[in-house]
Amino acid sequence: MIIDIPEGKDPIGYVWGEMVPGIGVAAAAFSLSVYEHSTLGLREFEAARLRIAQINGCLFCQDWRTERDGQKVEAEFADAVTNWRTTDLFDERARLAAEYAERYATDHHGLDDEFWSRMFEHYSQAEVVELSMSIGSWLAFGRLNRVLGLDTVCVLPGH
């Protein structure tokens, strides 16, 4: 970790809450709202989230699995996300979510009409906006945690 954390302080709470309270508290609320208010199915949500975690290299995010109504994705899901182009574990929505996450993070200028045609065959406009905001959150905050070395001590509140 490259940030000095005072003795006895929770690293995440300190960096996200105390160091920059005007930004960090709002960022944390946005980050948590992605999990609390998502209308996306668990598989497409996790396909996009985990693809961003893989690209960011965030250790915590790669290890984390979102739970909804007592359900989590299967153990092989992370490998399927890595191989999103060829896996037989994904339906078209999950495959597109992983592709969109990857392209959003690495080639957002390359999102062309062909991609958007495929995307809108399977997602509504509202779902694309929600997925875009979620991916943006994971990209920014997962990368922040990785860059600052917080990904080895990260725990979501209440977990």
Residues in the chain: 159
Look over the chain and give the mean of its residue pLDDT values, rounded to a whole number: 92
Please name the residue ranges forming H helices in 68-124: 77-82, 92-106, 113-122
Give the model confidence (pLDDT) of 107-149 as tens digits.
Answer: 999 999 999 999 999 999 999 999 999 999 999 998 998 899 8
Q: What angle do CA 149, 153, 157 make, to 5 degrees?
A: 125
Give the model confidence (pLDDT) of 104-117 as tens digits.
Answer: 999 999 999 999 99
- Give residue 97's pLDDT band: very low, low, confident or very high (50, 70, 90): very high
For the chain, domains (ranges, CATH) are 40-148 (1.20.1290.10)
pLDDT at 157: 47
Please name the residue ranges forming H helices in 11-124: 11-13, 21-36, 42-56, 59-63, 77-82, 92-106, 113-122
**How many CB atoms neighbour CB 107 within 10 A?**
9
Q: Is the pLDDT of residue 27 over 90?
A: yes
40-50 burial, b at 16+ Cβ within 10 Å, e below that, comes to: bebbbbbbbbb
**How many CB atoms neighbour CB 58 within 10 A?**
24
Distance CA 16, CA 20 (A): 7
Q: Is the pLDDT of residue 67 over 70?
A: yes
Dihedral angle sign, alpha carbons of residues 8, 65, 19, 148: positive
